[in-house]
Amino acid sequence: MTSGSQRVVWMGVLILLLTKLAGWSQQVTHGPVVGGVTSGSAVFVVRVDAPADVQLELSPVNTFAYALRTASALADEENYYFVKLYAGGLQPETEYFYRVVINGVPATTLPAGRFRTFPPDGQPTPFTFLTGSCQQAGDDPFSSIGNIFYRMAREDALFLLHQGDWGYPDTTDEEAGRPGDYFPLVYDRVVETYFSKYDPGYPMAELFKRMPVDYAYDDHDMVDNNSDYTYPGIANSIRGYREMFPHYPLPNADDGVWHRFTCGNAEFFVVDNRSQRDPNINAFTIIPPNEFVADTIVSFRAGPDHRLLTANPMVTGEDQMSWLLRALKNSQADWKFISTGTPFNPGMRGVIELAVLLQGDPDYAEIPTPEGPLTPTEIAVEFSDKWAGFPVTVHRLLAFIIEHRIENVIFLSGDIHTSAIDDGANSLIPELVSGPLDRTNSQTVALMEQFGIYIYNKGGHTADQSDMGNAYGRVTVFGRDSVRLEVVSESGALLARHTVQAGFVPARVGATVVPLTLDFGGVPVGSQETQPLIVVSTSIDPLVVTQIVSSDPRRFQVVPRHFTVYPGLKQRLAVIYTPDTNEKHEATLTIYSNDPDGPITVTVQGHGIDVFGRADRTLTTGLPQRFALHPNYPNPFNPATTIRYALAEEVQVRLTIYNSLGQTIRTLVSDFQEAGDYRVVWDGRDDSGRSVTSGVYVYELQAGDFVARRKMMLLK
């Protein structure tokens, strides 16, 4: 009886004879691509165009005078002529050249590529690696067709850590007239995505020749945009990864592609936060209960069961979050990198909450972005796709790291088609985001800053950054001393830099305040206008705000001025502007709390104007052409909201608040008023000065014969 190894040898001989008789001349069509590198081994993937016996030959010299060969593998039609090859017995910190061997004969006399093996585990050797995500979007006319990879190939880097959206195969279904027909439902389409990833005509092929790659899919290259465990076809995406990517060992290979590896004194935890997440929309309550559409009014109410990395009820064996926490605790590495498809920064919770508040405000009915106009509701739902949309998971990870004093954890992320760095003041854990490898820059960070949201404090594609082209992340580990995070543009310009010193542990108290700049514009002298301010507690201990001081308390006030916000929750404040002169006013609001980063300052400004000088009057007469009752802002609100109305002529006016039973709660206006535009603030109190309860309220305007009503919601 022949052994298994003998059968493989005889099968290879048979294939060799048959291919020679048939006149075939096998060629390499894709790869080789190297990954799964350690200090003594590597994994390769290569594809040929016909049945063949395939090996890899490796040598520390490019003449292959001293060469070793991997075991052979059979390329056949069943596996789409892909083979995976394992090379062991390598020397650490050694450069190896490699080439493909087909049917015992080198495919070329020249090396196909080269790479360096890693330093031994635990050895504090300085090294550099690259990060990035989002590329090969064929529908993007502004992409650079991958030219950034020529620049990256010139780096002296050990490897590329790719964080997903390596191609956008989900878009091809719509182009082919198959909307909703998710690409991984048919395994052949998954195979096609790897043809695209390894396309020898795409410049990333140059990078493959110089360094290995590690990778975990995000959404577009797993199933669909903003996908989660409920999407069909995930099993085929996992299968494609296992069969056609040179990966590290997978702890739970049937349920996701999360894994870890070590390079010197650094350990990398690559999470799969797509096949292990609840649907993003589950974090929202629709007001009133209805089917979700783009202009739906929603409230962010992520409950304790809304989770990331532990969500899929079909997972067998250890769940991903338990694996991550256990691996972090047991890690002996000096530096611990968590690689994730979507940004971690808990400060993005402020974006969600502010977008929720902007719903219904006509001034923000559509917000222009490079991706096209979006409604505030769409923005809130989009940002809930990040870690900030899963506050229970964020709290669990932070609490574990802080309570166990796990030092030197750093987040590396992608997804948002832009780049930025935060030192931990907002992200709590230092974070490098690198998402525009070959995709039009979304300018997400720049847009946030235009709305007064500053949660990446070390630069990148920020509001004052003129270079919004493609970029990648560069990370250098300096032994046990420090780690340098950088954002590098396609031209080689340094866009951002931060050095993390050894010994870093996240703070127990964290705060995000949005927005940090408020502009009231023109407000009638003697009237009031309110704008919202949101304070989010982002770490594991309560945030205690002891006082908020206004540099101009006569014109700018904040309510409430002291409060406690528990972890993962937020407090909505009202900034009230009362102009008393026809001129511009500015002030600073200083928020004092137990946040170790110190007081937070908010800049506010406004301009007092006469009623008849309002800019929103018609151009012909300077006065409103018709009576109108506008939507209140914000809505939902707490503790105050602004009601706006227009009078086309001088009339008797009555503005009244009713509860859901039709009972009168507050009469805000009962007076004879001239034509013009008016704004009135309701502070959530009744006519006796008592605070009313949460619920739906109706405000009614009676102006002569004109009567109009609208609904609003008070949330406490």
SS3 content of the chain, % helix, strand, coil (to 5): 20, 35, 45
How many CA atoms are closer than 13 Å to the CA of 357, on its beta-carbon side?
A: 27
Residue that the structure tokens 């030197």 belong to: 408
Rounded percentage of the chain residues whose pLDDT exceeds 90 = 69
* Start-end of CATH 2.60.40.380 domains in the chain: 4-116
Is the link from the previous residue into 560 a cis peptide, with omega within 30 of 0? yes
Quick: pLDDT tens for 249-304. Answer: 999 998 999 999 999 999 999 999 999 999 999 999 876 655 555 556 788 999 99
Give the pLDDT score at 525. 81
For the chain, residues classed under CATH 2.60.40.10 are 508-609
Start-end ranges of CATH 3.60.21.70 in the chain? Answer: 127-501
Residue 174 predicted with pLDDT over 70: no
Kindly state the average pLDDT of the residues 224-242.
94
What is the reported pLDDT for 343? 98
Pick the CATH number of 508-609 from 3.40.50.720, 2.60.40.10, 3.40.50.300, 2.30.30.30: 2.60.40.10
Single-letter amino acid, residue 332: Q
Task: Sort 17 into a burial class: Cβ within 10 Å, 0-12 / 13-18 / 19+.
Answer: exposed
Which pLDDT band, with edges at 50, 70 and 90, does 7 fall under?
very low
Say how far apart CA 669 and CA 702 lie, in whole Å: 10
CATH code at 623-716: 2.60.40.1930
Q: Where in the chain is the domain with CATH 2.60.40.1930?
A: 623-716
Name the band, by pLDDT with cuts 50, 70 and 90, for residue 693: confident
DSSP state of 184: G
608-656 pLDDT, tens digit per residue, is 876 433 333 333 345 788 898 988 888 878 778 888 899 989 999 999 9
pLDDT of residue 365: 80
Instruction: Name which of 12-16, 110-114, 547-551 the model is least confident about.
Output: 12-16
- pLDDT surpasses 90 at 217: yes
Dihedral pair phi/psi, residue 400, rounded to 5°: -65, -45
The predicted-structure confidence for 17-60, as pLDDT tens digits, reads as follows 444 434 356 899 999 999 999 999 999 999 999 999 999 999 99
Q: Specify the CATH number for 127-501; select among 3.40.50.620, 3.60.21.70, 3.30.2270.10, 2.60.210.10.
A: 3.60.21.70
CATH code of the domain made up of 4-116: 2.60.40.380
Which of 174-183, 252-261, 518-527 is most confident?
Answer: 252-261
* Gap between the Cα atoms of 238 and 276, Å rounded: 12
Confidence class of residue 13 from pLDDT cuts 50, 70 and 90? very low
- Does pLDDT of 14 surpass 80? no
> CB-hemisphere CA count at 13 Å for 167?
22
What the block records as the tokens of 263 is 């390079």
The reply to whether the predicted model has a pTM over 0.95 is no
Dump pLDDT digits (tens) for 77-121: 999 999 999 999 999 999 999 999 999 999 888 899 999 999 999
Q: Which residue has the tokens 């109706």?
A: 698
For 450, the 3-state DSSP assignment is helix
Q: Give the containing element (helix H, strand E) for 384.
A: none
Residues in the chain: 716
Out of 139-148, 243-252, 274-283, 546-555, pick the least confident. Answer: 139-148
Q: Roughly what angle, to the nearest 10 degrees, separates helices 187-197 and 234-244?
A: 40
| C-alpha torsion sign, points 617, 620, 625, 630 | negative
